[in-house]
Structure 1
Amino acid sequence: MDIIGLLAQYEHGKFSNILLNNYFKEKETELPGLTRGEKGFITEVFYGTIRNVMFLDYSIDKRVKTIDKLWVRNLLRLSMYQIQFMNSDDAGVVYEGVEVAKLRGGTFIGSFVNGVLRSFIREKDEDIEKLLEEGREDIVLSYPKWFFDEIKWEHKENYLEILRSYKKIPNLSVKINKLNYNEEDFLALLGIKGIKILRKVEDVYYIDSGVILETSEFKRGQITVQDASSFLAAKYLDPQPGERILDTCSAPGGKAIAMAEMMKNQGEIIALDIHEHKLKLIKSRTKQMGIDIVHAELMDARLVDVEFGVESFDKVLVDAPCSGFGFIRKKP
């Protein structure tokens, strides 16, 4: 089960979204490849397990003193996630988990996994009731205590609503590349693919399906993933053709791409980041979009005055690092 391996890599410090994207790209080279349903299932279980890992680990540790092998813990985590949070057949999940355990660890491990999962099925509702009675909503919702307490302190009346909203899977948001595509063709494509528009914020469309990511239009850079907040940040800067603009903390490049389109690919955008792998992402995205005025550079934005001097740019976009709370839904 590939999800076990993905969880192990995440456990060792890899970024969840990059892990999953790279995994799907690797699978595209294999035949017959993953179906849309398989991709959806893997995405749901992988992200869902990460989002709820505190509750899942509590449920495991309540039943087991120690687990020496990480793959066994991850197998239990993803199995419990399906049982607790997905509309799954419990018996089927247990059977699948036991078969994987026997295949990788033998009969003894299979029996161990069977016992733990069946105990969880019998007692999971009682476990949650006990946690709530003890005031441990942070464990039920799988948030670090400090984070749970901070949100509760800042939003006393609706903190639970806010915390639960962070667990919801966000809708996909995209925009068209106006340099080589138009809205009429985009809307026609949505109709052909049976994709519904949930809402529109300026040029950003929130849609109900990820099928768009498998289209030739997306792969050619005529459609790109874009969040409304990053698009609006770019728009409010009011970039104009021919200007020289500095985009600090630029990765993954959404704002730079949006500005380049508004500038009709005329002028220059210097896109900074302090991580080499993120610069590669910016370069890859701009190339895909047919944009050549964005130049990604490895640099700490605090050193800009030393590198470029005074009045080197017409405008500067600063999307400074923050708490990151707003990305919890997208990058658990």
Structure 2
Amino acid sequence: MRLHRNLCFAVIDGLTLIFNEGKYADKVIQQLLKRDKRWGSRDRGFVAETVYDIVRWKRLYAEIAEVKEPYDRDNLWRMFAVWATLKGITLPDWKYFENTPTRKIKGRFDELSKVRKLRESIPDWIDEVGVKELGEAKWTKEIAMQNEKADVILRTNTLKITKEKLQNILADDGIETEFIKGYDAALKLVERANVFVTDAFKKGYFEVQDASSQLVADFLDVAPGMKVVDTCAGAGGKTLHIASLMENKGQIVAMDIYESKLKKLKVRARRNGAHNIDLKVIDSTKPIKKLYNKADRVLIDAPCSGLGVLRRNPDAKWKLEPEFLDNIRVTQQEVLQQYSRMVKEGGKLVYATCSVLPSENQDQVKAFLKSEGGTNFELVKDKKILAHQQGYDGFYMALMERKA
């Protein structure tokens, strides 16, 4: 591979924003890809994948390059040189790469890779939490899988099309997909492609949604005609899936504390042809109290550490702090206590997270069921998904039923 100066500069600029200014990697990459209209798909792919790679392996590459935060541009070029050397790319004769110790880089990589927190490039405290909660063997496999590139999975919008027809339409566009056993609406891309430019996407035939995430709506056990509340709807990936399972019959109340996210859901719902969704901003306790004892089904897709989806958000591990984890566990129990009151007698509740930590998952459910607010509920079933076992995002979901 030959390195092009303008593409490498884009990478360095992006890393500066992510590492030194705390910007989110996905937003930075979106901006970078608009920098030069002449860039083809290969150029854009190089910029996006290189930025994500260096973000993912920040700690390891910084150790090898012997640089410390905050990184100046020379530091970032040294980390870039480490990335290129380990990829087997010949470094061009640029001033940024003068005196790069190629042999030493490979030796340091072999040496440092013996230590898990360096090999998997994670903060000490996350490594300690993972070992404590999952055990040494399981955590070692899980965090290694969280550094693998995630597959692109589509969820067929069955309000408009069947999975088989969608597969054929995408094939005509040169996008090859395959079915995934046990996932009713899922199609996995054989090779990465920009699916958002296809007519199939513009017509609302599918959404991009990981296979594990697609299990949550199924777990909720909805049916046409029900009243369903999605309490932490965000931009609505699971809301739209619920709408398709309900065949546009009944009512979905999609709630969130962020109005901007619900506005995105409104646009997506229009494209999907989902007409049974009401949007409610949680700006006080009023919207919640109005729904007490009214819902057949309630979904709490709770805020969490996101340690099950680091493959998709590698910069999250550098933004997470131990205090956040302590605070989010308190928030999780609060939303369980509050939002569960929307479930009517005989109705069902799903608590879900994209974390792999028991303290955010089954421990929260146990604490809820033992509490005064949870005495009327019983656990029907739960599902723990680890990325290294399933191959998809780490997730947890628990189905509870309110006794009649």
* TM-score class normalised by the smaller sequence: 0.7 to 0.9
Q: Does 1:15 find its partner at 2:24?
A: yes
Give the count of matched residue pairs: 301
Given that residues 198 and 207 in structure 1 are in contact (C-alpha distance below 8 angstroms), is that contact kept between their aligned partners in structure 2? Answer: no
| Distance apart, 1:311 and its partner CA | 2.0
Distance change in 2, residues 1:198/1:222 (3 Å): closer
Given that residues 228 and 295 in structure 2 are in contact (C-alpha distance below 8 angstroms), is that contact kept between their aligned partners in structure 1? Answer: yes
Moved over 6 A (4+): 66-69
Structure 2 CA distance for aligned equivalents of residues 214 and 17 of structure 1: 18
Q: Does 1:139 find its partner at 2:118?
A: yes
Distance change in 2, residues 1:202/1:304 (3 Å): farther
Given that residues 174 and 225 in structure 1 are in contact (C-alpha distance below 8 angstroms), is that contact kept between their aligned partners in structure 2? Answer: yes
Given that residues 45 and 82 in structure 1 are in contact (C-alpha distance below 8 angstroms), is that contact kept between their aligned partners in structure 2? Answer: no
Q: Does 1:195 find its partner at 2:186?
A: no
Distance change in 2, residues 1:312/1:71 (3 Å): farther
Structure 1 CA distance for aligned equivalents of residues 31 and 176 of structure 2: 25
Structure 2 CA distance for aligned equivalents of residues 3 and 280 of structure 1: 31
Given that residues 229 and 253 in structure 2 are in contact (C-alpha distance below 8 angstroms), is that contact kept between their aligned partners in structure 1? Answer: yes
| Distance apart, 1:276 and its partner CA | 4.0
Structure 1 CA distance for aligned equivalents of residues 52 and 258 of structure 2: 24
Q: Does 1:205 find its partner at 2:213?
A: no
Q: Which runs of 5+ in 1 are unaligned?
A: 99-109
Greater strand fraction, Structure 1 or Structure 2: 2
Which residue pairs with 1:77 in the alignment? Answer: 79
Of 34, 38, 41, 1:36 maps to 41
Structure 2 CA distance for aligned equivalents of residues 57 and 233 of structure 1: 38
Which deviates the most, 50-59 or 4-13?
Answer: 4-13
- Code of the residue aligned with 1:77 in structure 2: it is M
Which residue pairs with 1:126 in the alignment? Answer: 107
Which residue pairs with 1:225 in the alignment? Answer: 208
Q: What is the correspondence of 1:44-55 to structure 2 with a 5 Å cutoff?
A: 44-55=49-60
| Distance apart, 1:45 and its partner CA | 0.7
Distance change in 2, residues 1:68/1:182 (3 Å): closer
Q: What is the correspondence of 1:1-332 to structure 2 with a 5 Å cutoff?
A: 1-11=9-19, 12-21=21-30, 23-24=32-33, 26=34, 31-32=37-38, 34-60=39-65, 62=66, 70-84=72-86, 86=87, 88-92=88-92, 95=93, 98=94, 110=95, 113-115=96-98, 118-119=100-101, 121-131=102-112, 136-153=115-132, 154-192=134-172, 193-197=174-178, 199-200=180-181, 201-211=183-193, 212-299=195-282, 303=285, 306-332=288-314
Given that residues 233 and 255 in structure 1 are in contact (C-alpha distance below 8 angstroms), is that contact kept between their aligned partners in structure 2? Answer: yes
Distance change in 2, residues 1:52/1:173 (3 Å): same
Which residue pairs with 2:401 in the alignment? Answer: none
Distance change in 2, residues 1:180/1:23 (3 Å): farther
* Aligned residues: CA RMSD: 2.8
Distance change in 2, residues 1:49/1:264 (3 Å): same
Structure 1 CA distance for aligned equivalents of residues 213 and 264 of structure 2: 16
| Distance apart, 1:124 and its partner CA | 1.4
- Code of the residue aligned with 2:243 in structure 1: it is A
Structure 1 CA distance for aligned equivalents of residues 279 and 78 of structure 2: 42
Structure 2 CA distance for aligned equivalents of residues 277 and 266 of structure 1: 26
Cα deviation 1:232-272 (Å, max 9, x = unaligned): 21112122333221112222311100011112223332222
Structure 1 CA distance for aligned equivalents of residues 265 and 80 of structure 2: 33
| Distance apart, 1:331 and its partner CA | 1.0
User: How high is the TM-score relative to the length of structure 1?
Assistant: 0.79
Distance change in 2, residues 1:81/1:157 (3 Å): same
Structure 1 CA distance for aligned equivalents of residues 29 and 267 of structure 2: 17
Cα deviation 1:258-308 (Å, max 9, x = unaligned): 0111122233322222334433432332233232332333327x9367542
Distance change in 2, residues 1:174/1:194 (3 Å): closer
Structure 2 CA distance for aligned equivalents of residues 236 and 68 of structure 1: 45
Structure 1 CA distance for aligned equivalents of residues 27 and 69 of structure 2: 28
Which residue pairs with 2:349 in the alignment? Answer: none
Distance change in 2, residues 1:276/1:10 (3 Å): farther
Percent pairwise identity: 23
Structure 1 CA distance for aligned equivalents of residues 192 and 287 of structure 2: 42
Q: Which runs of 5+ in 2 are unaligned?
A: 1-8, 315-404
| Distance apart, 1:309 and its partner CA | 4.2
Distance change in 2, residues 1:31/1:304 (3 Å): same
Distance change in 2, residues 1:68/1:238 (3 Å): closer
SS state at 2:285 partner? helix
Given that residues 199 and 207 in structure 1 are in contact (C-alpha distance below 8 angstroms), is that contact kept between their aligned partners in structure 2? Answer: no
Given that residues 173 and 226 in structure 1 are in contact (C-alpha distance below 8 angstroms), is that contact kept between their aligned partners in structure 2? Answer: yes
Which deviates the most, 306-315 or 66-75?
Answer: 66-75
Structure 2 CA distance for aligned equivalents of residues 221 and 3 of structure 1: 33
Greater helix fraction, Structure 1 or Structure 2: 1
User: How high is the TM-score relative to the length of structure 2?
Assistant: 0.66
